[in-house]
Amino acid sequence: MTLIVSMVIFTSCGKKDDVKTTDTQKKDSTTQTKTETTTKTDTAGKNNSAGGIKNISYEPGKLPASVKYDGKIVSGARWEDKNGQNVLLVCETDEKTTGDNRSKELFAYQYILNGEDAKQLWKVNDFIKDCPVDVMLSLIPKSITVTDINKDGIAENTFLYRMSCKGDVSPDDMKLIMHEGENKYAIRGSMLMIMDGKKYGGDMKPDPAFDKGPAGFFAYAREEWKKFETEKVGE
């Protein structure tokens, strides 16, 4: 019997990316509802490259009331660098159903803490809306890292998540988001699905920002991508 893997396309979808003060919009080549928005507000054991970064913890810990976020915290990190005390939060909303459609959002934030005061360094928001079939939008477990690859005393933080709106057996989209301070780097593509000995998906599209970024950033991001990209189905 021949198994045909097909992608489901929906017309209710679009994407905004890297929204800055100009609100420039870019559209994906797909039609899924996926919006990844980064808002920059201020300039500012997995960690073999941590260098001078101190007190790295992969728990967000107790947060001052001045730290605001949407959804529920699913993971995070804390560390100290030249910017001071940092906290990374990754949050997800519950899946919402309206009629036959489903929606979900993912948020990520970096804050600089000073006692009970907190200054937001950046915010990322991605979502799937009005999906008539199954929704997936979730942080990939154990994908958060804190590093100092270029040894400048400002930590990079990296995390990956998967997302899809589909009613078939096909690869989920995957995104890697990396920040050093307010500077963002990303890889977008799809997971590599292995089913019945055949491979599907596995594309990877790095941001042009890596071309102008510090040496070693893309090599590290690609290594993290490869670590989490493969999903075996039916084994």
**Is 24 a member of any domain?**
no
Q: State the pLDDT at residue 4.
A: 37
**Number of domains, the chain:** 1
Q: State the pLDDT at residue 39.
A: 63
**Is 227 a member of any domain?**
yes
pTM for the predicted model, two decimal places: 0.83
Residue with tokens 């097909």: 6
Residues in the chain predicted with pLDDT less than 70, given as ranges, are: 1-35, 37-51, 235
Q: State the pLDDT at residue 107.
A: 98
**Is 148 a member of any domain?**
yes
Residue type, 72: K
Question: Are residues 228 and 202 in contact, defined by beta-carbon separation less than 8 angstroms?
Answer: no
In this predicted model, what pLDDT tens digit does every residue of 120-177 receive, in sequence order? 999 999 999 999 999 999 999 999 999 999 999 999 999 999 999 999 999 999 999 9
**Is 211 a member of any domain?**
yes
Residue 225 parent element (H or E): helix 217-228
**Is 73 a member of any domain?**
yes
Residue 55: name the closest of 38, 21, 80, 82 by CA: 80
**Is 27 a member of any domain?**
no
Is residue 58 packed enough to be buried (19+ CB in 10 Å), middle (13-18) or exposed (0-12)?
Answer: middle
Question: Are residues 144 and 77 in contact, defined by beta-carbon separation less than 8 angstroms?
Answer: yes
**Is 108 a member of any domain?**
yes
**Is 3 a member of any domain?**
no
Q: State the pLDDT at residue 50.
A: 53
Give the structural domain span for 150: 37-233
